Amino acid sequence: MSQPPGSTSSGFRVVDLIRKKRDGDELSRAEIEFLVAGYTREEIPDYQIAAWLMAAVLRGMTRAETAVLTDAMLRSGEVLDLSSLRAKKVDKHSTGGVGDKTSLVLAPVVAAAGLVVPMISGRGLGHTGGTLDKLEAIPGFNVNLSVERFRHVLETCGCAMIGQTAEIAPADRKLYALRDVTGTVESPYLICASIMSKKLAEGIDALVLDVKTGCGAFMKNEKDAAFLAELMVETGERMDKKVVALITDMDQPLGNMIGNSLEVVEVLEVLRGGGPEDLRQLCLELAGWMLYLGDVSDTVAAGKRKTEELISSGKALEKFRRMVEMQGGDARVLDNPKRLPQAAHTTDVLSAREGYLVSLQCEHIGTACVILGGGRERKEDAVDPAVGIVLHKKVGDRVAVGEALATIHYNSEARAARSKQLVQESCQIADSPLAEKRPLVHRVIGNSGEKN
Ligand code: URA
């Protein structure tokens, strides 16, 4: 029997599935599996999947579709079996933020506590930064390890940080890169499938999710963040993992530095016991939960205290050094961060008036970094690790006329001009400070049996 024009051996035509989602109908398991497998095998082109993704963003997906999509993406590659490693395997993943560099602190701290952290991360997504781009700012650091090498680093060091590969979560590797440049990130269903497919492929026992909310997050309000958190926690629990989600603030950048090299500098500050207070506190909170879920600490509070000890003793920094060495990176940057790529020029963003900084439009600050070259506008773009923004003021701070609010690190005058204007417009200054400070952690979701 001959096939209808354009249909495949499965009987589906991609265009029909795009139209089905466009019209708000539910796709079947077979249809979703066909799309994921076809795209992963490069049988379906980017433009058709981009159209389908946009339809999914605009029309939403059912719980059943989300579960099938997650499962199909997970099964696009292998699921690691790390049962030969005796320690518990624990990871953390963030839904994406600006200046969010906690993963680089958490992996070595938690490994220094005796747990195993098999972290599969992503690149920059939309206006948010990506762990892999930050790690690659360290000269030589290889985020593309084979499964065999990944396993070896985990066995030797306790933590390893890689990207989605052709072997592990290959569907997310392709879909993630496409969503980055097609305005199709902001869907709780697609975010859930992306995050949970790669986390479930890691062979972990427990997972801490950092679900961001605020103007710099993909989920702008707490209700949407809680919906995403519940979706992911449910997905993890269905697969017998211990999962908690912390809804944390992303209404202004985390820490003071935004940009790949600059963020590594701030990570080293935290690993040396310093760093900006918001970043340090969030690292303690997330690590506290990781140690608690990994059964190293009886309570989250005890996990936080243990984390502080691991940082002040230098053990966490030494773990980071070991991981950098084992993944081919130049560990001399730990002692001399000037060895990280440096931008050729800097320019200050000055305050036009005196008063209090009442808002830092966080998404625009992230976009300003992408414009400098710190992120991608097309899939094939190379990221410039050296560029970025250093904030000298955070929300609540007093500012004088002519005082520097931020410094832009740049390599292209044209890009710097656009970026500087965006940062300037992002800083709102008023006569009096805000009445209320937003909390760092808004809520915790998940049946973790928490003991504080
Ligand atoms: N992080 C991911 O891994 N995927 C998303 O879709 C968003 C954040």
**What are the tens digits of pLDDT across the range 124-148?**
999 999 999 999 999 999 999 999 9
* Cβ-contact 57, 186 below 8 angstroms: yes
Is residue 75 within 8 A of residue 40, CB to CB? The reply is: no
Q: How far apart are CA 118 and CA 323, in angstroms?
A: 12
Does residue 89 contact residue 204 with C-beta atoms inside 8 Å? yes
Residue 2 has a pLDDT of: 42
Nearest CA to ligand 1 atom 2: 195
Cα dihedral 396/398/402/406 (nearest 10): -40
End-to-end CA distance of the chain: 66
The secondary structure element, H or E, covering residue 406 is strand 404-410
Q: Which residues contact 307 (CB under 8 A, 6 or more apart)?
A: 109, 113, 283, 284, 287, 288, 291, 316
Could you tell me which residues come within 8 angstroms of residue 381 by beta carbon, excluding any fewer than 6 positions away?
A: none
Looking at the CA of residue 128, tell me the nearest atom of ligand 1.
Answer: 8
What CA–CA distance (Å, rounded) separates 257 from 408?
10
- Cα dist. 74→62, 218, 292 in Å? 18, 23, 26
Distance 66 CA to ligand 1 centre (A): 14
Is the Cβ–Cβ distance between 427 and 362 less than 8 Å?
no
Pocket test for ligand 1, best of 57, 74, 95, 131 (most atoms within 8 A of CB): 95
Nearest atom, ligand 1, residue 96 CA = 8
Residue nearest to atom 3 of ligand 1 (CA): 195
Ligand 1, pocket residues at CB < 6 Å: 95-96, 122, 125, 185, 190-191, 194-195
CA-CA-CA-CA torsion sign (20, 38, 64, 199) = negative
Q: What is the pLDDT of residue 448?
A: 62
Residue with the smallest CA separation from ligand 1 atom 6 is 191
| Cβ atoms of residues 164 and 170 within 8 Å | yes
Q: How far is ligand 1, taken at its centre, from the CA of residue 115, in Å?
A: 24
CA of 285 to the centre of ligand 1 (A): 21
> Within the chain, which residues score under 70 in pLDDT?
1-9, 448-452
Bridge partners, residue 398, by sequence: 356
**Helices marked H in 206-348 — which ranges?**
222-238, 260-271, 277-293, 300-312, 315-326
Gap from CA of 182 to ligand 1 centroid (Å): 14
Q: Ligand 1 test: best mutation among 61, 70, 93, most atoms within 8 Å of CB?
A: 93
- Which H/E stretch holds residue 91? strand 90-94
Give CA–CA dist 273/434, Å, rounded: 29
Task: Mark residue 397 as left, alpha or beta (left: phi above 0; alpha: psi -120 to 50; beta: remaining).
Answer: beta
Mutate to test the pocket of ligand 1, among 94, 186, 191, 232 (most ligand atoms within 8 A of CB): 191
Residue with CA closest to ligand 1 atom 8: 95
Ligand 1 centroid – CA 74 distance (Å): 14
> Which residues are tagged catalytic?
93, 172, 179, 194, 198
Domains and CATH numbers, the chain: 14-60 (1.20.970.10), 90-336 (3.40.1030.10), 341-430 (3.90.1170.30)
Please give the sequence-ordered ranges of beta strands (E in DSSP) within 125-170, or none if there are none. 159-163
Q: Which amino acid residue places its CA nearest to atom 5 of ligand 1?
A: 191
Q: What is the Å distance from ligand 1's center to 96 Cα? A: 7
